[in-house]
Structure 1
Amino acid sequence: MKISTSLQFTFLICTLSVLSLPGQEYFFKDKAPFNSEVPSPEEFLGYPIGQQHTRHDQIVAYLEKLAEVSERATITSYGKTHEHRKLVMLSVSDPENLNNLSIIKQEHLAFTNPSVTPTNYDSVPIFIQLGYNVHGNEPSSSEAAMLTAYTLVASDSQEVQNYIKNAIIFIDPTINPDGRDRHTQWANQFKGNPLVSDNFDIEHNEGWPRGRTNHYWFDLNRDWLLGINPESRGKLTWYHEWYPNVVTDFHEMGTNSTYFFEPMKPIGSQDPIMPKENYEDLNNLFAPYFSKALDNIGSFYFTKEAFDGTYPGYGSSYPDLQGALALLFEQASSRGHLQDTEYGTISFPFTIRNQYISSIATIKAAVENKKNLRKYQQDFFKSAVNTTAKKGYTAYEFGDKYDHNRNKAFIDKLLLHKIKVYKKGDRFVVPVKQLQKRMVKTFFETYNKYRDSVFYDASAWSVANFYNMKYKGIRSSNLGEEITSTDKLVNVSKVLKSDYAYILDWDDYNAPAALYFMQSKGLKVASAFKPFSINTPTGNKSFNYGSIMIPVSRQKKTNDEVYAIVKEAQDTYDVPIYATNTGFSTSGIDLGSRNFQKLDIPKALMLVGDGVSSYEAGEVWHLLDTRVRMPIIKLKISDFDNISLNDYNTLVMVSGRYSVLDSLVQKKIKNWVSQGNTLVTLSRASKWAIEKKIVKEKLTEKEKDTTKNKKVERLRYVDAAENIGRERLGGAIFEVDLDITHPLGFGYRDTCVPVYKNNEVFIAPSENPYATVAKYTKNAHIDGYISTDNYDNYLKPSASLIVSKLGGGRVIMFADNPNFRGSWYGTNRLFLNALFLGNHINVPNVEKE
């Protein structure tokens, strides 16, 4: 395509002019005069915005300075990151508004309460929340946050005076401080003088894992719904206290792009949870403000393409389910300070200015349309309690009687989103008709029909399935007692002292954590490979496959020391542990049976680095760090040649491109596994293991069409991307049939388990009849989009989890991701079983006929 010379000229002028303009006039010269007693970002930092990437602590310090010197601003903290960086919110408004903020807050929240009907839409300041830098290596918006804050606090222009009088503006300058600082250090340390714009310069090519993600390499922009990380949990708690009317979500995209603002691409769902008025009327109301502001500075942009708000867990979609208007902005990235593009060079200050201009335009649009926004929010929450639930259900009932800590984790997530939950006997009930009705639908409803087949991200998010939480719709008005906290939700009987043995119930989600705790304290333990029942001080108790036995007399510790460790494990993890004074079972195996196998403590190694999926690696690291409290060695793939594997019994390989592992390294892995060790592969790593013949397994192949002279259908060129894209499996939920007698299935009671698939890895069932642990069921589809071709010809004939024998060891291959986004509590156990029990899986030899 020929490049427009006028477009190229405009882009070059915008880029080059910023390099020659003095100070900060480039950004906000039309907002003068400014209060000289309020320091500008340049005065405070000692350099102009855009000359350097600003560290998070400097950003926070600057906002604290604004709150210190001006009555227009106050600052609060809503949490800390994994690396203990402060998460802050700057509140900016007219001093009179801030002095009366508690009263204004009550008036504002009245519009979210269907039981009252205020009509003072124009008299209450509009609540605007400007959120920046959720992806750490998309840094322009945090710089724009400082410029926006300075403008609102220091400008005495009539325009800004009007904004702060009619709005309460909350500025969250850095949603992902850990990732931002990782990128900031990279960009600043490799910055050249003079600036180097060559795309191949190291400044523009971050090292693995890059700064997009947080400490555990999670994408926080997908975490609003899932609420796994402290950054998201703090933000959600703040959000449900304030319910802003407008929320921004600033991002960056490819360097050769321009600028994106809403409206988005049409939502892919056939029946979107988000009200139509939101993504049509309000977006079209705001769009002219953005186009006018960007036109005025000569910036090019696009709308209605590429991005969609189907997944409800983005910063640009979650607020839409809370009566707000969420707005996505995407700026072409300079990926450093200055970089070459197809149209010339793009500079860091240029990218910052677009974000700043859009911030101010958002405030302008919100202030001038506050009546519409308030009426919309009011109607939104009224409709939640006034409309009839589909399918005739009045509530959803759920609960797992064997796994109370998984119940607790699921209820914690419901409460985080302010969803009302009730306890009814040994079950739990969530009514549909409540303020958070749309979140209830998000948690429990599933879909199989879509208007579009190409999604920006996941197409399935029924959170109950993430937790393997069996639920059903009910038509009952009897709710029971409301649950407002999970603090006392798990009540286990305190384990009594025994001089014989203790038994840990493996059904509980926290059991692996308790097991590792006891192993790390030096206790010898064994796992039951068959179920049994035995007398305990609290009566006869039945134990499932995998239950952990701690024999007292076989420890190198005194009976009192053993009891202290067992008791501490229970107190720490709230797990069911029972004492017994006999080895004789009332049914099933006795405690001295050969079907109790001694477990070695896991010594796990995971490959990380270039080519490896940081998302999947981070999910493994996060699971073991934060829930199991078990260390895993993270080995750079480039160092693999230099390490001896003899000190480890388990190797984890997540999705990745493992081309650097040549035939000699592959042989090294095979030899190590053959010595009795365990290789665990996830998703695309499983495909790699099959293709490189680490194992003698196969990928599922589609039956070949033997029709001769098959006619190729002619298709439109413009539809190519859509047609190809619909074969991509962006994220859907399927049911598998799990062998719960297999060690990988220990701890499960139901053979039907939901799994999450976001890849095109399809593994054929093993020819060994004992090696296919989980296979997709005949009617496997639960939620989300999958093409007919992928579903019928690839998924349904395939296995989700197999174990392949290799010498004296084994390779455990997951076709799916059991730890997706830290939220798949329902399949975490499969992965943890691979770590704790993998070395005790002996795949039987089967003679071929």
Structure 2
Amino acid sequence: MQFLKKITVLVLFFTVFNSFSQEYFFKDKNPFNPKIPSPEEFLGYAIGEQHTRHDQIVSYLYKLAEISDRAEIEVYGQTHERRKLVILRVSTPENLSNLEDIKKQHLQFVDPAITPKNYDDVPIFIQLAYNVHGNEPSGSEAALLTAYTLVASNSSEIQNYLNNSVVFIDPTINPDGRDRHTQWANQYKAISLVSDNADAEHNEMWPRGRTNHYWFDLNRDWLLAVNPESEGKLKWYHDWYPNVVTDFHEMGTNSNFFFEPMKAIGSKDPIMPKENYEDLNNLFAPYFAKTMDEIGSLYFTKEAFDGTYPGYGSSYPDLQGALALLFEQASSRGHLQDTDYGTISFGFTIRNQYRSSIATVKAAVENKAVLRKYQQDFFKSAVTKKTASGFVGYEFGDDHDQNRNKAFVDFLMKHKIKVYEKGAKFYVPLKQQQHRMVQTMFETYSQYTDSVFYDASAWSVSNFYNMKSKGLKSARLGKQITAATKLINNPIVIKSDYAYILDWDDYNAPAALHYMQKRGLKASAAFKKFSANTTNGTKDFNYGTVMIPVSKQQKPSEAVYEIIRQAQQKFRVPMYATNTGFSIKGIDLGSNNFRKIKEVKAAMFIGNGVSSYEAGEVWHLLDTRVEMPITKLQLHNFNRISLDKYTTLVMVSGNYGQLDSIQRKKIKDWTSRGNTLITIGSASKWLISKKLVKESLTKKPKDKNILDKSVNR
């Protein structure tokens, strides 16, 4: 009996220790509408007792929108794994019923052409966004508590917030990564919680839940907008232009809590106005300090993180006249974990994020006139601001690649940047609402006030696209582009009984080639330049040009043409027909300098030690752009895998020390049989160090003036 009593006491201890009642989170927000279920009542467990799946989060928000006239829900996209991306709009019933009119009034403040003065009369727009990194889960749990508070609390404080704001709650920016981590944390959770840092619950397996389906860090994707999560977010953002945007994160377990101000901006000439990171941050900071002080939570500011790179959730909105706010909470990485000062619980991390959410709403409402005036001035200055370079805009264009031009114009237009046709080139003026985004896309930087950065310090998106551009000091606008699809004007290929030629310079040429090979066509690549008579006239062709000879195919010419036609239509590539193998200049089509292209069957190493970011980039590129499957080989299984079925093996950066001499010989023998090994980053260094190739690493000369490129404060 005595033994059973001890067990009972022990179980009760852990249950109480890890039980987080409503009072723990929001006792000062009473009374609540009893008709609105709390997250605990809806889910069947208290917030913080376990990790909540994304579908449960979405279901709860739908329930709030269904039973309350304070809430509406919208779907702004879906993830690669087809999870819904949702936003809950919360305000008074009156505001929601007049939301379209309020939105029109709000958008007048971002229009440089007009100057409304009713700064205090229009409800402020606040976006509370959570969980961009899937394994930083406290944010989404806090989103549930915040939604419940704003929808169900009948306190005068909350009513005042709703009267003066529209709050947009984005509970999970990265649902795919979140659910990957949620599954891990819940499956390793014990009834008697294990706080030992070494426990499996606190140590996810590769690739972990931080990233999305293709292992992209979505907090770097606001600028590049490669993934559907970011595309949907940008479309929503430029439809609403909120005044305040939050970005909730987690950091190391032994840290405390961080809120802005950050450390100073790293670049010498930052694009965003200093009022943003000086005045507005300092205006909001006392609100966060007060709410943390009230519950005794430790915090720090100004010492870490920076907003130099414009693609974070805490920096991109700054370039849209908003105040973007970063929060970093020490992570429990599970339900309970040891720290230098005892244990940290999941519920504790959630409470800090929740209180910061409510404090954000409070600060925004109490300073809405300041925020509106700031956003108005921000966009007005965009059309009057002069650049140090003296440029009035940028000209760009690829003379040989219409699809690359289209891809870049598409990208610019996602950010609401106005682009104009200028003869055979394109022109982007600086005098436009998105002036600062134009700077972000085209300018380069070499001088900084600090030599230490949190993350990316340099970027030029035009260079990412390998797009040649130049600044102009005078220019005429030309015709504005409204749809990039009209930029592709390749002549339709006509039927030939001799050969077809695919211009390899095109952005989509690899995808078109794979499409044709997958359907059984044989192709060759030119190892020398040539000029040929085509049915569209004389054309010069570069190295790598693809030739599809009709007579070498095991299909009738009609079937060959149909595949060629479909490939051109699908990928909109420049494809030419020719009725002769005799070239005007250079090699003829029957030359031995045309060599057969093997159909690629690709594989890539993944798993512990391998960079998931780089592996994800390769996977995404081949899967979504080229539509080519790539087999992902777990490193720990390599001793049981034959490479003979593959033509190409990709090794991205990583630690390949686990490959023993037998496995290394397997790779070397495979490449010696004419197969292709592609290494990236540190994988190349490993390959050379193990003498799998006869190469050596070049040594970069030391730049003696490296410190001179930074500017002292």
Bin of the TM-score, shorter chain as denominator length = over 0.9
Q: In 1, Cα distance between the equivalents of 2:683 and 2:612?
A: 13
2:406 pairs with 1:423: no
Counterpart among 518, 521, 539 of residue 541 in structure 1: 539
1:288 aligns with 2:291: no
Residue 316 of structure 2 aligns with which residue? 318
1:671 equivalent in alignment to 2:669: yes
Contact 1:18 1:26 in 2 (8 A): no
In structure 2, give the amino acid aligned to 1:487.
Answer: T
Match of 2:457 among 442, 459, 479: 459
Which residue number in structure 2 is paired with residue 233 of structure 1? 231
Match of 1:277 in 2: 275
Match of 1:444?
442
Tell me which residue corresponds to 1:369: 367
Residue in 2 that maps onto 1:353: 351
Q: How does 1:429-828 map to 2 (within 5 A)?
A: 429-701=427-699, 788=705
Counterpart of 1:448 in structure 2: which amino acid? S
Alpha-carbon distance, 1:695 to partner: 1.9
Determine if contact 1:133/1:174 at 8 Å carries over to the other structure: yes
Residues 601 and 702 of structure 1, relative CA distance in 2, 3 Å threshold: closer
Q: Distance in 2 between matches of 1:668 and 1:20?
A: 52
2: CA distance, partners of 1:394 / 1:188: 55
Q: Aligned letter for 1:604?
A: A
1:602–1:118 CA distance, 2 compared to 1 (3 A): same
More displaced stretch, 201-210 vs 15-24: 15-24
What displacement does 1:686 show? 0.7
Query: Secondary structure of 1:570's partner?
Result: helix
| Residue 34 (structure 2) aligns with | 36
- The one-letter code matched in structure 1 to 2:55 is D
Return the offset for 1:790.
11
Partner letter of residue 256 of structure 2? T
Q: Which amino acid counterpart does residue 44 of structure 2 have in structure 1? A: G
Q: Which residue of 1 aligns with 2:160?
A: 162
Identity of aligned residues (%): 71
Aligned to 1:635, the other structure's residue is in SS state strand
Query: Residue in 1 aligned with 2:254?
Result: 256
Which secondary structure does the structure 2 equivalent of 1:412 belong to?
helix
Q: Deviations over 1:375-434 (max 9, x none)?
A: 100100010001223322111100001011111111111000000000011100000111
* Alpha-carbon spacing, 1:600–1:574, altered in 2? closer, same or farther (3 Å): same
SS of equivalent residue, structure 1 residue 188: helix
Is residue 102 of structure 2 the alignment partner of residue 111 of structure 1? no
Q: What is the SS of the residue equivalent to 2:168?
A: strand
Counterpart for residue 21 of structure 2: 23
How far apart, in 2, do the equivalents of 1:297 and 1:17 lie?
Answer: 22
* 1:806-840, Cα deviation, whole Å (9 max, x unpaired): xxxxxxxxxxxxxxxxxxxxxxxxxxxxxxxxxxx
Q: Output the CA distance in 1 between the equivalents of 2:35 and 2:415.
A: 42
The match for 1:92 is 90
CA contact (8 A) 2:18 2:49 kept: no
Q: Partner amino acid for 1:633?
A: T
Asked if the contact 1:31–1:155 (Cα under 8 Å) also holds between the matched residues in 2, the reply is yes
Q: Please, what is the CA RMSD of the aligned residues?
A: 1.6
Q: Distance in 2 between matches of 1:205 and 1:790?
A: 39
Q: 2:301 aligns with which of 300, 303, 306?
A: 303
How many angstroms apart in 1 are the aligned matches of 2:501 and 2:400? 15
Q: Does structure 2 conserve the Cα–Cα contact (< 8 Å) formed by 1:260 and 1:301? A: yes
Other structure's SS at 1:197 match: coil
Q: Distance in 2 between matches of 1:789 and 1:232?
A: 35
Instruction: Return the TM-score normalized by structure 1.
Output: 0.81
Q: Secondary structure at the match of 2:552?
A: coil
| Aligned pair partner of 2:205 in 188, 204, 207 | 207
Is the deviation greater in 104-113 or in 614-623? Answer: 104-113
Question: What are the superposed Cα offsets for residues 190-246 of structure 1, whole Å, 9 maximum, x if unpaired?
Answer: 111111111111111101000000000000000000010000000000000100000
Distance apart, 1:701 and its partner CA: 4.2
Distance in 2, Cα, partners of 1:677 & 1:230: 34
Aligned to 1:191: 189
* 88 and 413 in structure 1: CA distance in 2 versus 1, 3 angstrom threshold: same
Matching of residues 128-167 of structure 1 within 5 Å: 128-167=126-165
Q: 1:412 aligns with which of 385, 410, 413?
A: 410
AA aligned to 1:572 is K
Q: Give, in angstroms, the shift of residue 306 of structure 1.
A: 2.1
Q: Which secondary structure does the structure 1 equivalent of 2:126 belong to?
A: strand
Q: Residue 53 of structure 1: CA displacement?
A: 0.5
After TM superposition, give the deviation of residue 289 of structure 1 in Å. Answer: 0.4
CA, structure 1 residues 347+22, in 2 after alignment: closer, same or farther (shift >3 Å)? closer
Structure 1 CA distance for aligned equivalents of residues 510 and 698 of structure 2: 33
Deviation by residue 1:506-545 (Cα, 9 ceiling, x = unmatched) = 0101000000000000100000111111111111111111
The reply on whether 1:79 has 2:77 as its aligned counterpart is: yes
Q: CA deviation at 1:699?
A: 2.4
Q: Please state how far the C-alpha of 1:20 moved relative to its aligned partner.
A: 6.4
**Residue 23 of structure 1: CA displacement?**
2.3
State the 1:116 CA deviation. Answer: 1.0
User: Is the CA contact 1:18–1:349 (under 8 Å) kept in the aligned structure 2?
Assistant: no
Runs of 5+ consecutive residues of structure 1 not aligned to the other structure:
1-14, 704-726, 728-785, 793-849
Answer yes or no: is the 8 Å Cα contact 1:389–1:433 preserved in 2. no
Q: 1:16 to 1:377 in 2, by over 3 A?
A: farther
Corresponding residue SS for 1:391: coil
How many angstroms does 1:614 deviate by? 0.3
Residues 446 and 460, structure 1, Cα contact 8 Å, conserved in 2: yes
Could you tell me which residue of structure 2 aligns to residue 59 of structure 1? 57
Report if the CA contact (8 A) 1:42-1:48 is conserved. yes
Q: Note if contact 2:86-2:171 (Cα within 8 Å) is conserved in structure 1.
A: yes
Q: Secondary structure at the match of 2:679?
A: strand
Q: Does the CA-based 8 Å contact 2:131-2:174 persist in structure 1?
A: yes
Conserved? CA contact 1:265–1:304, under 8 Å: yes
1:97-143 Cα distance to aligned partner (Å, 9 max, x none): 00100111111111111111111111111100000000000000000
Contact 2:20 2:48 in 1 (8 A): no
